[in-house]
Amino acid sequence: MKSKIILFICTITILISASSLYAKQKISVLNVEGVINPVLAGYIVNGIDEATEKNSMALIIQIDTPGGLDKSMRIIIKKMLSSKVPIVVYVAPSGSRAASAGTFIILASHIAVMAPSTNIGAAHPVALGSGKMDEHMAKKVENDAVAYITSIAKKRGRNTKWAEEAVRKSVSISETEALKNGVIDLIAANLPELIKKIDAKKITINNATTVLHTKDAEIELIEMKWREKFLAVISDPNVAFLLIILGFYGLFFELSNPGVVFPGLVGAIALILGGYALQLLPINYAGLLLIILALVMFLLEIKVTSYGALTIGGIASMVVGSIMLIDSPFPFLRISLKIIIPTALATAGFFFFLFGAVIRTYQKRSVAGHEGLLDEIGTAEEDFDKTGRIFVHGEIWNAVSDTPLKKGEAVKVIKVEGLKLFIIKHKEV
């Protein structure tokens, strides 16, 4: 009986092992598009962890990037180099690129693949933030980048000489040149072709060789979580700029009309989100101060008669400040003029016309209550000397006059005390 139980357990174990052996393997896919920043770094790092937990046969990172932040790039590469899952970096679709930080990332992959009509390179480090590096510091940064990229290329068995030139000379090459020079491993037109070409390919991970079986593998896309998608949107320099402007609007409304709450709440949230986004970017504080100065000028235009000079100054200050706000040589990290100019004009128009009209309305004399009776024209309801009754503003009031009045005479209200009106003959005005 005991031997039968043991035989049964062994049979079940063999069947389970066989089913897992012949089960469809999974290939995880990440779609990375845009500037390499902390949000995309988190997405890639979490994607590698998820692929590891799912025991995926491989992880494909489809990438199209103009580059990005050095710190985020290093976080990604550190995770890639320690990954237990084979990582394939695929520059696709056609027309995509792996420039700057993207060059480092593709060189760090176990298998580097590019689609037709794509390019890689131009990895020279550029200073971010206000000011420029002196020659000595620039050389140190360049040498550090060269040492980093060549060590990655050497570890993955790729062309170290080209890697160095990509940094020192900002060399950029097409997919055919990259394959010819030993920078990448394959060219594939699409994902199915890529999966077919990497089938049976040997990968070394932690000194152990693994053979990929991807021919019939099941593709599973790892999408960004809602939090990552939201942070990716607000991290865009244009969105960050609009959030800051919206934040100023909201707080200004709240300070102008205490107790409304909603504008202040929206403004505070917008400023916090904008501040989070701006901390990811190289900020020039002179640009930020110019934007604040522009808002002050727009406010003064409401109170001070400048014949449009303050509005013109405010527009100029906002445009220049917005251009200076993101201090980066990379176009993809700067705020677009298509956003700056309409925002400056809309802000000027808002303060000059809309809010100015509101202020002027508040400054008008009240037409309700006792204040609404001042300067109103009425008629005497009776003959009276000193005191009597008059009809004014649709009502009959007790009135006091320094001169005698006859019934039907026109009168003008010059003062209100409680329920008593002080009047004069209208013809005396």
Told to judge if 420 belongs to the known catalytic residues of this protein, a careful annotator would answer no
β-partners of residue 388 are: 399
Reduce the DSSP state of residue 24 to 3 states and report it. coil
Told to judge if 415 belongs to the known catalytic residues of this protein, a careful annotator would answer no
Q: What is the residue-wise DSSP string for 365-417?
A: PP-STGGGGTT-EEEESS-BSSEEEEEETTEEEEEEESS-B-TT-EEEEEEEE
Q: What is the residue-wise DSSP string for 171-218?
A: -EEEHHHHHHTTS-SEE-SSHHHHHHHTTT-EEEETTEEEE---TTPE
Catalytic residue among 84, 139, 140, 386: 140
Residue 235 · residue 277 · CB < 8 Å:
yes
Residues with Cβ within 8 Å of residue 399, at least 6 apart in sequence: 387, 388, 389, 390, 411, 413, 420, 421, 422, 423
Q: Residue 168 has which token pair?
A: 């020192």
Q: Residue 424 has which token pair?
A: 């004069």
Residue 121 · residue 163 · CB < 8 Å:
no
Catalytic residue among 56, 83, 100, 401: 100
Residue at 289: amino acid letter: L
Q: Residue 396 has which token pair?
A: 């009959």
CA distances to 23, 65, 255, 358, 416 from 146, in Å:
44, 20, 53, 61, 85
Which residues form the catalytic set? 100, 140
